[in-house]
Amino acid sequence: MKRYSAFAIAREAFRAHTGWDKAWARAEPKRRYDVIIVGAGGHGLATAYYLGKNFGITNVAVLEKNWLGGGNTGRNTTIIRSNYLQDPSAAIYEKSRSLYEHLSQDLNYNVMFSPRGVMMLAQTQHEIRGYQRTAHANALQGVKTEFITPERVKELCPIIELKGPRYPVLGALWQERGGTARHDAVAWGYARACSDMGMDIIQNCEVTGVRTEAGKVQGVSTTLGEIDCAKLGVVVAGHSGALADMAAFRLPIESVALQALVSEPIKPCMDVVVMANTVHGYMSQSDKGEMVIGGGADGYNNYTQRGSFHHIEETVRALVETFPMISRLKMLRQWGGIVDMTGDRSPILSKTPVENMFMNCGWGTGGFKAIPGSGWGFAELMATGESALCAEFSLDRFREGRFIDESVAAGVAH
């Protein structure tokens, strides 16, 4: 793999950019692998990458039924933060945020990480108490956050309206080193690094069955044939329940659509991420000038990957109260992704009833921010059988009542 650098760009400029290699190799499936990862989104590719980097396991295939990064990884709103309430959540999200800080250098691929800061508005007395509690918990966890005044909110985001008609801004939970990254670039960077290690990334390869023998995984059936493996990792977000069903067990998740939209591009006016949970909306501005807008997940189970009018109406109506200027903008495009929700709004990174089969799912509406940390911990779990980052997120917690309740910290959709 040729290393990307300013010198490489200059060199290629003199030969009409004809010397660039493909970012990752086109691969055909082999008969057997040490590890198969189902799902070539950010979490699946990160798992494969850290299996190779941290444990030297490179006989790995990453299977994707469509195109690489075409699921939730390419359909989210790119928010990165780690200000969660519960200790296990804060640990894995802060691990992820810290990995994002140097991910471009690690992968030799610009993921456009932008630590512009994330604020979660407090617009009721209840939210003030909740966010102050989270700030105290974060201090004990080593996660740098603070509760700021309305005046500081206005200073950080001048276009905000503090005295809204229904809910005034009473303060905010502020994480200065939170921010955004380019979602496609994260997937592409991990894919390029995995391919360079000799791993096979196989697109348009749908898994149609999980083969087991005496309670132990043997391999998968796919549209490209039978593939054997020693270990199987399933990282398919909203389709996790369908893959578990193929292996004859059930997951405590439900799949729903999460919608988002962007406006026409405008001049820079907002360099932070703002989440307004009470009015149910969040917004940031992309590098291209678009206002990236989202809200809550759909209220009913579905596998829809498109937008709907009611979402535009509800989300934009709410945000116009807090950002009156957006009432004059035109919508550029709208989309949806299929998210997997657990009852406690925390993920599942776990062994399963099938020996050597592992599940990484249940990230709900906040999966993008967790990609590096999720891959790091899940790779450790698959390679060694245990991981401190993943221990509390096992399937056993639902049977034992050890819930990790993040329904508040998950906010409007993240």
When pLDDT is averaged across residues 127-143 and rounded to a whole number, the result is 96
When pLDDT is averaged across residues 92-98 and rounded to a whole number, the result is 98
| Res 9 pLDDT > 70 | yes
| Res 279 pLDDT > 90 | no
When pLDDT is averaged across residues 365-390 and rounded to a whole number, the result is 96
When pLDDT is averaged across residues 366-395 and rounded to a whole number, the result is 97
pLDDT at 410: 58
Is residue 70 one of the residues assigned to a domain? yes
Decide: 82 and 90 in contact? Cβ < 8 Å.
yes
| Res 198 pLDDT > 70 | yes
Residues 6+ apart with CB under 8 A from 185: 109, 110, 111, 112
Q: Report the percent of the chain where pLDDT is more than 90.
A: 85
- 318: tokens are 């709410």
326 and 282 in one domain?
Answer: yes
When pLDDT is averaged across residues 124-142 and rounded to a whole number, the result is 96
| CA separation for the pair 325, 328 (Å, rounded) | 6
Is residue 8 one of the residues assigned to a domain? no
293 and 207 in one domain?
Answer: no
Which of 20-34, 95-109, 240-254, 303-317 is predicted least confidently? 303-317
Q: Where are the alpha helices (DSSP H) in 14-56?
A: 42-55
232 and 132 in one domain?
Answer: no
Residue-range definition of the domain harbouring residue 224: 29-109+182-254+344-400
| Res 295 pLDDT > 90 | no
Q: From 316, 334, 352, give the residue that closes a domain.
A: 334
**What is the length of the chain?**
414
126 and 102 in one domain?
Answer: no
315 and 294 in one domain?
Answer: yes
CA angle 40, 42, 47 (to 5 degrees): 80
- 390: tokens are 């993943």
309 and 166 in one domain?
Answer: yes
| CA separation for the pair 27, 220 (Å, rounded) | 17
Reduced to 3 states (helix: H, G, I; strand: E, B; else coil), residue 324 is helix
| Res 311 pLDDT > 90 | no
Q: How many CA atoms lie within 13 A of 108 on its CB side?
A: 12
Mean pLDDT of the chain: 94
User: Rounded to 5, what percent of the chain is helix, strand, coil?
Assistant: 35, 25, 40
pLDDT, tens digit, 9 for 90 and up, residues 150-169: 999 999 999 999 998 788 99
217 and 125 in one domain?
Answer: no
**Domain of residue 304, CATH code:** 3.30.9.10
> Nearest-CA neighbor of 371 among 273, 235, 219, 255?
235
Is residue 379 one of the residues assigned to a domain? yes
192 and 101 in one domain?
Answer: yes
> Using the 8-state DSSP alphabet, how is residue 47 labeled?
H
Is residue 7 one of the residues assigned to a domain? no
Q: How much is the pTM?
A: 0.96
Q: Any idea which residue has 């945020």 for tokens?
A: 97
User: Binning pLDDT at 50, 70 and 90, where does residue 205 land?
Assistant: very high
When pLDDT is averaged across residues 244-249 and rounded to a whole number, the result is 97
pLDDT at 318: 85
| Res 414 pLDDT > 70 | no
85 and 49 in one domain?
Answer: yes
| Res 306 pLDDT > 90 | no
> Nearest-CA neighbor of 58 among 379, 340, 396?
379
User: Binning pLDDT at 50, 70 and 90, where does residue 304 land?
Assistant: confident
- 127: tokens are 């939210």
Say how many C-beta atoms besides its own lie within 10 A of residue 388's C-beta: 12
pLDDT at 2: 82
Decide: 88 and 71 in contact? Cβ < 8 Å.
no
pLDDT at 119: 97
| Res 189 pLDDT > 80 | yes
> Nearest-CA neighbor of 90 among 373, 398, 396, 400?
373
pLDDT at 300: 85
Q: Where are the alpha helices (DSSP H) in 86-180?
A: 87-101, 103-107, 125-141, 150-156
Q: Where are the alpha helices (DSSP H) in 294-363?
A: 309-322
Reduced to 3 states (helix: H, G, I; strand: E, B; else coil), residue 120 is strand
| Res 299 pLDDT > 90 | no
Is residue 20 one of the residues assigned to a domain? no
Q: How many domains does the chain have?
A: 2
Q: How many CA atoms lie within 13 A of 173 on its CB side?
A: 31
| CA separation for the pair 382, 349 (Å, rounded) | 10
Is residue 140 one of the residues assigned to a domain? yes
100 and 122 in one domain?
Answer: no
Is residue 9 one of the residues assigned to a domain? no
Q: From 285, 311, 334, give the residue that closes a domain.
A: 334
- 105: tokens are 């250098």
Is residue 189 one of the residues assigned to a domain? yes
| Res 413 pLDDT > 50 | no
Beta strands, E only, 176-248: 179-180, 200-202, 207-213, 216-222, 225-234
User: Binning pLDDT at 50, 70 and 90, where does residue 351 land?
Assistant: very high
**Domain of residue 225, CATH code:** 3.50.50.60
Residues 6+ apart with CB under 8 A from 271: 116, 285
* Residue, of 383 and 413, whose pLDDT is higher: 383
| Res 275 pLDDT > 70 | yes
